[in-house]
Amino acid sequence: MRTRWGSGEVMAATVRESDLTLAEARSVAERVTDPELPMLTLADLGVLRAVEFDDSGALIVSITPTYSGCPAMAAMRDDLVRELRSAGFERVEVRVQLRPPWTTDWISARGRDALSRHGISPPGRAPAGPVALSLGPTRRAVTCPLCGSTDTEVASEFGSTACKALYRCRSCLEPFDHVKEI
């Protein structure tokens, strides 16, 4: 008998006494913040994929990395385990779920608003299909989160973290991070 709550929906094979506990576990996991983007929860970032009990009663939390080799995964795991154990869950396991791969489309509207409020340009829609690697600045219009102008340019494909690029606004002249579309 397995109960699972994933992607914001309750899916239960049977109703059991632990359903309330599962909702509590999901609530705790949803409040854990991203170590690189602390204005976002793991739920708003879209990396929190599922919270469930296995057949032995252990709590299993599944997360998806934003990209292969994401250095924040260990911190995410440790933060989830710490917060869930603090809430009274004794047996907690965090699993990495690679399929489907994470996409910036999974960032919630609340998460996109939080990024903008903190001076980080949120990503647009993720590209569909194969994407060619470019050797020059991108041609896509990126909006400055500080003044709202789309007259921006890439200053560096390498931002403060690997998932961000550094842009400069030609209107207000301020630099800002932009979350890369994945």
Degrees to nearest 5, angle at CA 63 with 60 and 179:
165
- CB count, 10 Å around CB of 105? 12
**pLDDT band, very low/low/confident/very high, at 103 (cuts 50, 70, 90):** very high
Read off the DSSP letter of residue 95.
E
pLDDT at 139: 58
Helix (H, G, I), strand (E, B) or coil at 154: strand
pLDDT at 50: 96
How do the domains of the chain map onto residue ranges? 3-102, 120-179
The residues near 174 (Cβ < 8 Å, ≥ 6 apart) are: 144, 146, 147, 168
For domain 3-102, give the CATH number. Answer: 3.30.300.130
Q: What is the pLDDT of residues 36-61, one digit of tens each?
A: 999 999 999 999 999 999 999 999 99
**Is the model more confident about 117 or about 2?**
117
Task: Taking the CA atoms of 163, 151, 131 and 115 in sequence, report the sign of the dihedral they define.
Answer: positive
pLDDT at 111: 97
Query: CA-to-CA distance for 60 and 70, rounded, in angstroms?
Result: 21
Read off the DSSP letter of residue 157.
S
